[in-house]
Amino acid sequence: MEMLQSLLSISLGAILINNFIFSQFLGCCPFLGVSQKVDSAIGMGLAVTFVMGLASALSYVVNLVLIHFGLDQYLQTLAFILIIASLVQLVEMFLKKSIPSLYSALGIYLPLITTNCAVLGVVLLNVQNNHNFIQSVCYGITGGLGFMLAIVLFASVRERLQFAEYPKSFEGFPIALVSAGLLALAFMGFTGMKIW
Amino acid sequence: MNIKQQFKEGLVTNNPVLVQLLGMCSTMAITTSLFNGVGMGLSVIIILTCCNVVVSLCRKFIPSEIRLAIFVVLIAGFVTIVDLLLKAFVPALSDALGVFIPLIVVNCIVIGRAEAFAAKNSVGASFVDGIAQGLGYTLVLMAMCIIREFLGSGTFGGGLLNGATSFLTLDGSGTGFQIFNGEAYGCLFMILPLGGFLTLGCLIALMQYVLRRSAEKKELKEKEGAE
């Protein structure tokens, strides 16, 4: 029962209260880069969720091995980034062989996940917060879902932005950043929310 | 390419954050006090310069098919060195920046400069490029920190200046100089994530405005010269 409670509070925190993008600033690059259209935003969100969940599980095991040999201080960052890079590569090959339709839909966004700081961030935060295996996987998946929620919401806002009027200097990224700020303001409403 | 031009590019015309739009996660996340901004900026300058030099030294031996993987491993090595050094000598900074120091591994500035500049240019030029681009990043961080800190809590130089024992402190205990009563009149949201998005958006807009104006002026001059 206690486990269930902790899982629930982790999920709620990762999706709403401490949303990876709007309150921790992790994964801003793809958030701003791949949010022109809702369709590609959904694809990116799904791929990131998948990789984040898998990376959390794998890195937990690898971290145990590193701790066993007393190397976790020196090799953690290096090991984690290598795990993520090879995982993304594996996912890419697997999708290409078995679900080619999804593979072509994701296109270039798949390899870009390697340099998404949300993925490395979730792995490092798992270590920092002493999550156990199930909590790590849960944090990874719900963190990815939070990312997806943010990017899909933002993409739909951005589609409307095309019809808005704003100063010429704000064209492109600045107006996107300002609207992301307003979304972050909305997400601030969740601060302090608790179930237990 | 001469040094003066490289610095001009790094600081203004090809600024990594404001023009190339790289490394925005850390720019928005950690700029809440001057202490964080300066510390993060210096760490990135060191890592970027080291990486640029090593990549440039090895550029003839690195096979191009696996160059990105090699860059990432190199960067991860330097980041680990800086992370451990900070933990040992400036623990306050390490605590304040937290997960964002190891996250320099996936900071697009470092891998971007390795790929776009160091892999094609001489060691000396890459060294200068590392310092120039790193300084450009640091300047933006400091500007963001000063704006957000001033509007949010009414102080200048939080964590870095006006410490308990000396003017300049590295233990994060400095309270900064109170310019106006932040508790009563400060806008709290500037310190929160919203402030990060807004400040960076306005800075990039300002940069676009300045660059467009200078380009227009240049065009006008050329027209006058032609007439």
Query: Using one digit for the tens of pLDDT, what is the confidence trace for A78-117?
Result: 999 999 988 888 888 888 888 887 777 777 777 778 878 8
pLDDT digits (tens, 9 = 90+) for A16-39: 888 888 888 888 888 887 788 888
Contact A66, A75 (CB under 8 A): yes
3-state secondary structure of B89: helix
C-alpha to C-alpha distance for B7 and B5, rounded to whole angstroms: 5
Is B211's Cβ below 8 Å from some Cβ in A?
no
Is B112's Cβ below 8 Å from some Cβ in A?
no
B29 to chain A: which residues are within 8 Å by CB? 24-26
Closest-CA residue to A120 (of B47, B102, B93, B70) = B102
Instruction: State the complex-level ipTM.
Output: 0.86
**Residues contacting residue A140 through CB under 8 Å, at least 6 positions apart:** A52, A53, A54, A55, A56, A57, A122, A123, A126
Q: Tell me what the mean pLDDT of segment B212-220 comes to.
A: 90
C-alpha to C-alpha distance for A19 and A147, rounded to whole angstroms: 7
Amino acid (1-letter code) at residue A181: G
pLDDT digits (tens, 9 = 90+) for B163-177: 666 777 777 777 778
B28 to chain A: which residues are within 8 Å by CB? 25, 28
Task: Find the CB nearest B72 among A25, A81, A169.
Answer: A81
C-alpha to C-alpha distance for B79 and B94, rounded to whole angstroms: 13
* Residues within 8 A of B (CB atoms), A 3-62 only: 22-29, 32
Would you state the pLDDT for residue B123?
A: 92
Is B29's Cβ below 8 Å from some Cβ in A?
yes
* Residues within 8 A of B (CB atoms), A 88-107 only: none
The pTM of this model reads: 0.89
